[in-house]
Amino acid sequence: MKMTYMTPAEKLVRTLKRVYDFGMTTTSGGNLSIKDDDGNIWITPSGIDKGTLRPSDVMKVAPDGTVTGPHRPSVELPFHSTVYRMRPDVRAVLHAHAPALVAFSLAGRMPNPKIIPDCEAICGKIAFARYEIPGSQELGDKIAAEFEQGAGSVIMENHGAVVCGANMEEAFQRFETLENLARFEIQAADLGDVFGLANPVSKAFAVETFQSGRPSPKECELRGKMAEFAIRSYHQKLFFCGNSMIAARVKDGEFLITPAAFDPLQAESGDMVLIRGNKAEEGKKPSSATTLSTEIFARHSWVESIMMTRSENAMAYAAAHQVLDSRTIPESYIMLRDIPLISAEQYQNDLPGVIAMLKPSTPVLLIENIGILAVGKSVLEAFDRVEVCDFTAKCILLAQRIGKFAPINQKQVDDIIDVFKLPRD
């Protein structure tokens, strides 16, 4: 979120609206705060509609306890204050009742951070705090004690979750990632055993830079398309902060890619990073999938765009290490074809072999614990494949709750290939 020049009150309102609009809290649930450089705690008020909150509703609590504002501070002020006292590095606290996190809090469990790569780098250590009365100092002490021991995120028994951060942008990304992690595990549990990564998966891009010149009309058009589809993907819950990537070919040896840890909802054309050879546009940090994208574009001249993401329903199959069968409805098979399941180990140790599996007849791969990798002749086609892939996974998960999933048979598949003249290799 681009909030550099916002006041603390504006940042709180904007973040809380986003939490509420994307179904991660209720009208009366949740509270956020920011500690400023003067030691003031800016906090959302108690009992105010989260859907209509304005900056003028936000309360300020001075270091001496003086309260400024038209309402009462959140009843959870004690735990916010205690966290700030115990963790001088923390400048933002976010607590809300996201459904999947509440589910874990009711079950007395924490989600498994090994289900996706780099989760602890984003969420920090995940801890669990036992139940206390909301608004009590006892609750504040229990939560703050977990943060004091190095936690970045805490599941609160029968209450939801709370995260902290160096700023509100970091706190929001932690909360959103934690909620998605919980959703992945819950959905995957419908399929059987849920697996975590045995080893870290990292595809770092060694960044050398160059000064870009005047952009071509094609580059400008692609930048706009990438920003448009990043925002659209976020609204469709296909993307979330720091866990998605789009790349698009400008010409041979040159492509655009989304930046590292980017916020899809706030994507702008100028955010995209131009890659030329093995160098990145000066002043920008490209996605960690830059090496992967470089090799895909170099090997497959027919690929014009790449998307990689962790959408909720497809990730259930990735976390359960199960094949996602695209033979559901004809439209899904036409768009996706058969989807190979790639192990995280192969992705880590044999990237050329994984890239070689991409063909016009195999445009989508599902990688264990990593997510969907989809390619296409345009940004639109790559997006369509990601969207259909998650849609297909959702339909099967729903079907299995009411009966036995019966896929299209081989003769029907062959007929589809013949009638629609789909590539066979």
Q: What is the pLDDT of residues 370-396, one digit of tens each?
A: 999 999 999 999 999 999 999 999 999
Is a pLDDT exceeding 80 seen at residue 343? yes
Average pLDDT over residues 93-98: 96
Place of tokens 């199959």: 317
Please report where in the chains the tokens 């706190």 appear, as a residue.
Answer: 171
State how far the Cα of 166 lies from the Cα of 77, in Å rounded to an integer. Answer: 18
Hey, how many other C-beta atoms are within 10 angstroms of the C-beta on 279? 16
User: SS3 for 133?
Assistant: coil
pLDDT above 70 covers a percentage of the chain that reads 98
**pLDDT, tens digit, 9 for 90 and up, residues 23-60:** 999 988 889 999 999 999 999 999 888 888 999 999 99
CA angle 140, 240, 266 (to 5 degrees): 100
How many Å apart are CA 306 and CA 381, to the nearest integer?
Answer: 9
Residues of the chain with CATH 3.40.225.10: 8-187, 208-419
pLDDT digit string, tens, across residues 170-198: 999 999 999 999 999 999 999 999 999 98
Taking the C-alpha atoms of residue 385 and residue 303, their distance in angstroms, rounded to an integer, is 13
3-state secondary structure of 189: helix
Averaged pLDDT score across all residues of the chain: 94
CATH topology of domain 8-187: L-fuculose-1-phosphate Aldolase (3.40.225)
Distance CA 380, CA 34 (A): 39
pLDDT of amino acid 105:
96
Which has the closest alpha carbon to 171: 40, 59, 32, 281? 32
Could you count the other beta carbons within 10 Å of the beta carbon of residue 265? 17
Residue 150 phi, psi (nearest 5): 105, 5
CA distances in angstroms from 387 to 239, 304, 382, 413, listed in the order given: 10, 18, 9, 21
The domain made up of 208-419 has a fold known as L-fuculose-1-phosphate Aldolase (3.40.225)
Distance CA 375, CA 243 (A): 17
Residue 204's pLDDT band, with cuts at 50, 70 and 90, is low
In Å, how far are 20, 167, 182, 273 from 156, measured between CA atoms?
19, 21, 14, 39
Other beta carbons within 10 angstroms of residue 273's beta carbon come to 25
| pTM to 2 decimal places | 0.94
**Three-state DSSP class for 369?**
coil
| Distance separating alpha carbons of residues 347 and 293, to the nearest angstrom | 13
Give pLDDT tens digits for 268-307: 999 999 999 889 999 999 999 999 999 999 999 999 999 9
Instruction: Report whether pLDDT(203) > 70.
Output: no
Number of C-alpha atoms within 13 angstroms, CB side, residue 350? 10
Q: Is the pLDDT of residue 5 over 80?
A: yes
pLDDT at 341 over 90: yes
| DSSP letter string, 294-360 | HHHHHH-TT--EEEEE--HHHHHHHHHT------SSHHHHHHH-S--EE-HHHHHH-HHHHHHT-BT
* 1 pLDDT higher than 60: no
Distance, in Å, from the CA atom of 183 to the CA atom of 180, rounded to the nearest integer, reads 5
